[in-house]
Structure 1
Amino acid sequence: MSRIRSVATSALGVNRRTVLAAAGALSLSAGVGYALRPTESQAATTSPSAGGGQEAPVAHSGRATEAASPAPYSKGTTLASVAAPQSGSGYRRLGDGGGWPRVVRSELATPKSGRAGRRTALAAFVQFTDLHLQDVQHPLRLEYLRSTDVHAWRPQEALTVQGAISLVERVNALQGAPATGAPLHFVMTTGDNTDNNAHSELEWFMKVMSGGRITPNSGDPRHYEGVQNSALKLYWQPDSTTRDHDKALGFPHLKGFLAAAIREVQSPGLKLPWYSTVGNHDTLPLGCYGSHGDPYLAEAAVAGKKLMSVSAADAKKLQDAIKNAKDPKGAGYRDFLKARARSMRSVTGDDKRAPYTPADYLKAHLDPAHQGHGPVGHGYSSANLSAGTQYYVFRISDDVIGISLDTTDAGGHYEGSIGTAQLAWLDRTLKDNKDSHAVVFSHHTSTSMDNTRPDPARPGEKRHGGAEVLSVLGAHANVVAWVNGHIHKNVVTPHKGSAGRSFWEISTASHIDYPHLARIIELVDNKDGTISLFTTLIESAAPHRTDFADLSQTGLAALYRELAYNAPGANKTLGGSAADRNTELVLKKG
């Protein structure tokens, strides 16, 4: 078992002798082992205009106590059991299903016999992605697109906070890394942590991850005001006996559901250090409109008017404009709302729904109130704030670094890219840490980075797509994995770089669409010229079976999963194939 050390720094080169300074340790759980508690993070980046940069101050990490690792296990993971629909048709109840097997993937290297007895654990961590914590009463939400696309609004959306807390509870209960038994180093969340770029959602996200009491409500503190008590048959009206669109498909009448959904809940916070990567929904209003968009939208976000219904033809025009990036700055959406002002319903205005800026996002992470088990800033630092950047490098363990990218294009649209300065920084960082294995994190996948619209803050800087990022990563022998989300689907892709270099791209499904997954990733040295990456999917701690009479925090978390499975129009293939789920990914040692 490798010694566990993890600190954050944004110096272009990570000085191993400096970062391995010891400070203290944090027990994961009784009898499991130990992981550090970083006391401070200095994960900064140089300004894109600097072209270089001096070494930033380095955080001190805890030195892990050597302890016997537990044996490999499957309990609490999808190796043992996965929620699955029971018999019947229409609205289907979930229950315990069989587990998903582990599949060995050998496209990049031939697995050698006896490796299980030789291997040494180098790193182990958990990936969250696409939590999409939603202020479902927000005036700018696009629920009415459901009139043209039934999956544009989902019945489970009011329960994102309860579901995310249950995922935190699952991670806190893990015995370590399932394939090796090694202690887990940290949790990384790879973007779209929030949904509407609202301050209310950002506060909920920080408390879900680091702990605290959360009231997932905005507007009127006494009751819910939104599409689910609108009497509109387009949406599931859980508290009403109205035969709406979803009840016609078998959705239940659950009196008291909305009051329960906005009731205060408690998150224990992760018992591990956690890091953050930014996604398009964390930067852009509605995940698609430029961060320097029309001020009308910012005013409408906090106002007391909400559009809940439009014709299917109008909905299609708006949806097409979003999908085809015809309105990246939101001017067309502004005009769309203004033209329908008389159709809007009155709701309670709330300043907490205001959009947050990239600087606000960084400040929330740096706030001591949200430190949890650290590190300070959760990867970001005051230097990021000064430079206006959201990318950084951190040390995971003795032999492994993590690199978090910002792939959102501030010019608008939900697909991504990165600027020249960040791409050059990535290349330098990999060169300066050539003796360490590198795991790269981003929100967007290689195939969803085709939006090269200029960043309004850096109008003269070229933007680069996924193919160019792959080219940079493939030129470095130390890159072992690119871990991302965005597409809401499990996909594992082998990439062969130049001169025989190779790495795996690991894209993980969301925690908003069924099957509601996160992923454990373990990196091991097989001591035979190969490395293996083990990926193991996990669900939240909520029981597979639901009880319609149980509207407790746990009961709602279970219902969140079942509603997502039954959501009209839901894609049932997001879990991916067996080769995209629980795997051993083998590659040659660089």
Structure 2
Amino acid sequence: MSRTRSVASSAASALAVNRRTVLAAAGAVSLSAGVGYALRPTDSEAAPAAAAPEGEAPIASSRKAPVGPLAPYTRGTTLATVAAPRTSSGYRRLGDGPGWRRVVRNELAAPKSGRGERRTALAAFVQLTDLHLIDAQHPLRLEFLRSTDVHAWRPQELLTVQGAVSLVERVNALRGAPVTGAPLHFAMTTGDNTDNNARTELEWFLTVMSGGRITPNSGDPRRYEGVQNSGLKQFWQPDSSVRDADKERGFPHLDGFLAAAVRELQSPGLNLPWYSTVGNHDSLPLGCYGHGDPYLADFAVGGRKLMSLAPAEAKKLQDTIKQATDPIGTQFRDLLKAHTRDLRPITPDERRAPYTPAEYVKAHLDPAYTGPGPVGHGYSTANVEAGTQYYSFRIADDVIGISLDTTDPGGHYAGSIGSAQLRWLDRTLRENRDSYAIVFSHHTSKTMDNPRPDPARPNERRHNGDDVLAVLGRHRNVLAWVNGHIHRNDITPHTGSAGHSFWEISTASHVDFPQLARVIELVDNKDGTLSVFTTLVESAAPHRTDFTDLSQTGLAALYRELSFNAPGARTDLAGTSRDRNTELLLKKG
């Protein structure tokens, strides 16, 4: 298999014109919905690519290689330092902790000495996952489940936008890849970009990524209306004198917190191209209910909100969600109707309406959110016309990316994939056999266990994670399957029936501590092996917080510390050292 170096590793080649930039200026080819489409740099309309050069790159261009020899760039990564507690009990304050070392994983190939001097970079990119941008005042939120499960509501949820902007700032500050120093080609968000399938959240997400001003507020434009000024003791009441359950655990009293959390802020937007993969919270209201109930759609934009519920009723509803016995929310609707007298008044807001999969794709195609590109961030008008949310794109001269839609349109948070998409995946890998492939999805192989039919395609078979693994294992060009959903760092080796091996890389979320993203580098070791390097990064916010600092940066730092202290929060989401900063060896195909 012929391979072409896609990133310069010497001063001479670093000065060369970036090939992808030239293609971007000329207009190039994007692979979408299984077919190549020629796109003009200023037009998102797709057209057949019969006359277009075969196998070229997409419109988006990576950062240009810096002048001079490339060098590793570890500043701002978890190799240097990681947030760690500096107090031992109660509400624990964070500070600078020791970094995480890099671990060599040799389950799929043996490392050979001297590879560090021989290697050349193929590609480098950033994975962001499970941002869960939350409209915390939305009427359909399930905060009231905290009466039976303390983790059902998290004290940091009002600060997701500030945290996401700080993560963008961190990615922008990375001047090169941590191992090779190569310029970063792009960023990919692997789903659950939003939390509740709300238009407010989608607008905030697209603005965070592409740049602009955001007011993370809905309903009354003058003030916050939600559980955190409700007087209910089961929720943290930050600027109230109420002695709530979280304050009893040591959470601070912060005058002005709510007003600061919903005021306007600025996102610089990513300074490199970015792509988008869909997750269940993007596709489904609450991440688990199918579309179609007019009562729930009206309730989403209305002026009433349920904030408290008896533990027994809360557990019953939570069980129906976990067991997928109420995929379209019928029992949830009946619960809201039964508690009409318990609903609290809030300001109605049409911007909180749910959006359809087609509207999700169209929003990505909106020129207002193009930022550094590409147009549509992977999606095209072909996706709109076909009713799909999967596509492929060229990462570098000899590397392609494939973004899957693993969400269940019928309702439930577990994933699966339809036969048409599985055949498309197999065909795309086969047609690009001379390129290495990175596959992206929201769900992991183990969380794709939901066979419920797609209501729009009731006769189409749905496939689980093992079926996807079987397809990937048949193609020697697959290097990695990159995903999220489980909010935990986990890296797993896979070997298919034909003997072809690849790595599954699952990355922790940015809503639950430790709030991470991951830089992934692909290199050719020039010794019959390849390496996939993974390096975790935190947001740019300082580890230490100052309770008097309610600025945009101060709130982003508080976002991390609140997530560390969230009652009931899991302590294993960072994974083991073998799931964090790694070198993953592969035999060259």
TM-score (norm 1): 0.92
Q: Distance in 2 between matches of 1:257 and 1:64?
A: 38
Partner of 1:463: 462
- Conserved 8 A contact 1:129-1:511: yes
2: CA distance, partners of 1:276 / 1:38? 24
What amino acid maps onto 1:220 in structure 2? D
Name the residue aligned to 2:6. 3
CA contact (8 A) 1:454 1:461 kept: yes
Equivalent position amino acid for 1:172 in 2:
N
CA RMSD between the two structures: 1.9
- Superimposed CA distance per residue, residues 393-427 of structure 1 (whole angstroms, 9 cap, x where no aligned partner): 00000110000000001011000000000000000
How far apart are 1:73 and its partner, in Å? 3.0
Alignment partners' CA distance in 2, 1:39 and 1:511: 35
Contact 1:40 1:376 in 2 (8 A): no
In the alignment, what sits opposite 1:80?
80
SS at match of 1:536: strand
Task: Tell me which residue corresponds to 1:421.
Answer: 420
Task: Give the match's secondary structure for 1:373.
Answer: coil
* Counterpart amino acid of residue 141 in structure 2: R
Q: How does 1:143-542 map to 2 (within 5 A)?
A: 143-291=143-291, 293-542=292-541
Whether the 8 Å CA contact 1:127–1:188 is kept in 2: the answer is: yes
Q: Residue type of the partner of 1:307?
A: L
The SS at the match of 2:498 is helix
Give the drift of 1:64. 7.3
Check whether the contact 2:73–2:174 (CA below 8 A) recurs between aligned residues: no
One-letter amino acid matched to 2:137: Q
Native 8 Å contact 1:37 1:374 kept in 2: no
Q: CA deviation at 1:496?
A: 0.8
Aligned residues: 560
Alpha carbons 2:279, 2:407 under 8 Å: kept: yes
Q: In 2, distance between residues paired with 1:406 and 1:548?
A: 41
* Partner SS state of residue 96, structure 1: strand
How far the C-alpha of 1:577 sits from its partner, in A, is 0.3
- Partners of 1:467 and 1:506 in 2: how far apart? 16
Q: Distance in 2 between matches of 1:381 and 1:140?
A: 31
8 Å CA contact retained: 2:287, 2:413: yes
| Cα deviation 1:467-498 (Å, max 9, x = unaligned) | 00000000100000000000000000000112
Tell me the residue number matched to 2:555.
Answer: 556
After superposition, give the CA deviation of every residue in 1:219-270 in whole Å (9 maximum; x if it has no partner). Answer: 0000000000000001000011211010000000001000000000000000
How far apart are the structure 2 equivalents of 1:218 and 1:64? 36
CA contact (8 A) 2:61 2:273 kept: no
Using the TM superposition, give the Cα deviation of residue 578 of structure 1 relative to its aligned residue in structure 2, in angstroms. 0.2
What is the deviation of 1:40? 7.4
- State the SS of the aligned residue for 2:573: coil
* Contact in 2 for aligned 1:86/1:93 (Cα 8 Å): yes
User: In structure 2, what is the Cα distance between the partners aligned to 1:37 and 1:150?
Assistant: 52
- Give per-residue Cα distances to partners, 1:436-490, cap 9 Å, x unaligned: 0000000000000000101111111000000000000001000000000000000
Asked if 1 retains the 8 angstrom alpha-carbon contact of 2:513 and 2:564, the reply is yes
Q: CA shift at 1:87, angstroms? A: 2.4
Quick one: which amino acid aligns to residue 587 of structure 1? L
1:41/1:378 contact within 8 Å kept: no
Q: Which amino acid aligns with 1:248?
A: E
User: Retained in 1: the 8 A contact 2:7–2:121?
Assistant: no
Closer/same/farther in 2, CA of residues 106 and 22 from structure 1, 3 Å limit: closer
Given that residues 21 and 61 in structure 1 are in contact (C-alpha distance below 8 angstroms), is that contact kept between their aligned partners in structure 2? Answer: no
For residue 201 of structure 1, what is the amino acid of its counterpart?
Answer: E
3-state secondary structure, aligned to 2:245: coil
What corresponds to 2:12 in structure 1? none
| Paired letter, 1:275 | Y
Structure 1 segments of 4 or more deviating over 6 A?
36-41
Q: Which residue of 2 aligns with 1:570?
A: 569
User: Alignment partner of 1:204: what SS?
Assistant: helix
Change (3 A) 1:105 1:231: same
Closer, same or farther: CA 22–504 of 1 in aligned 2, 3 Å: closer
Residues in 2 aligned to 1:469 and 1:481: alpha-carbon distance in whole angstroms: 13
Please tell me the residue identity of whatever aligns with 2:33. T
- Quote the Cα distance in structure 1 between the aligned partners of 2:185 and 2:62: 12
- Report the residue type matching 1:480 in the other structure: L
Instruction: State the SS of the aligned residue for 1:246.
Output: helix
> Is the contact made by 2:105 and 2:584 (CA closer than 8 Å) also made in structure 1?
yes
Which residue pairs with 2:44 in the alignment?
A: none
> Any conservation in 2 of the 1:4–1:64 contact (CA below 8 Å)?
no
* Distance in 2 between residues matched to 1:38 and 1:359, nearest whole Å: 29
Call closer, same or farther: CA 1:128–1:559 in 2, change over 3 Å. Answer: same
The CA distance in 2 between the partners of 1:69 and 1:231, in whole Å, is 59
- Give the whole-Å Cα distance in 1 for the aligned partners of 2:331 and 2:31: 38
Take 1:568 and 1:63, find their aligned partners in 2: how far apart are those partners? 41
| Displacement after TM superposition at 1:74 (Å) | 1.9
Question: What SS does structure 2 have at the residue aligned with 1:252?
Answer: coil
Is 1:396–1:402's contact at 8 Å kept on the other side of the alignment?
Answer: yes
SS at match of 2:270: coil
Alpha-carbon distance between aligned partners in 2 of 1:515 and 1:254, rounded to the nearest angstrom: 23
| Cα distance, 1:46 vs structure 2 | 5.2
Say if 2:128 and 2:187, in contact at 8 Å, map to a contact too: yes
3-state SS of the aligned residue for 1:181? coil
The one-letter code sitting in structure 2 at the alignment partner of 1:414 is Y
2:42 maps to which residue?
A: none
Amino acid at match of 2:350: D
**What does residue 32 of structure 2 align with?**
44
- Percent identity among equivalent residues? 72
In 1, are the aligned partners of 2:273 and 2:374 still within 8 Å (CA)?
yes
Return the letter of the residue paired with 1:252.
P
Kindly provide the CA deviation profile for residues 498-544 of structure 1, in whole angstroms up to 9, marking residues without a partner as x.
23210000000000000000000000000111100000000000000
Once residues 24 and 210 of structure 1 are traced to their aligned partners in structure 2, the CA distance between those partners, rounded to angstroms, is 22
Shift in Å, 1:570: 0.3
State the secondary structure of the residue aligned to 1:136: coil
Tell whether the 8 Å contact from 1:529 to 1:589 is kept in structure 2 after alignment. yes
* C-alpha separation in 1, matches of 2:158 and 2:64: 42
Compute the displacement of 1:37 (Å): 8.2
Q: 1:245–1:40: structure 2 CA closer, same or farther, 3 Å change rule?
A: farther
Q: CA deviation at 1:294?
A: 1.1
Structure 2, unmatched stretches of 5+, are: 9-17, 36-46
Alpha-carbon deviations, 1:321-351, whole Å to 9, x = none?
A: 0000010011111111111111000000000
Which runs of 5 or more structure 1 residues have no equivalent in the other structure?
6-19, 26-35, 48-52
How far does the alpha carbon of each residue in 1:23-81 deviate from its partner, in whole angstroms, 9 at most, with x for none? Answer: 549xxxxxxxxxx789777442159xxxxx97576754559756434311321000000
Alignment of 1:67-146 (within 5 A): 67-146=67-146
Structure 1's 339 and 39: CA in aligned 2 closer, same or farther, altered over 3 A?
Answer: farther
Change (3 A) 1:79 1:37: farther
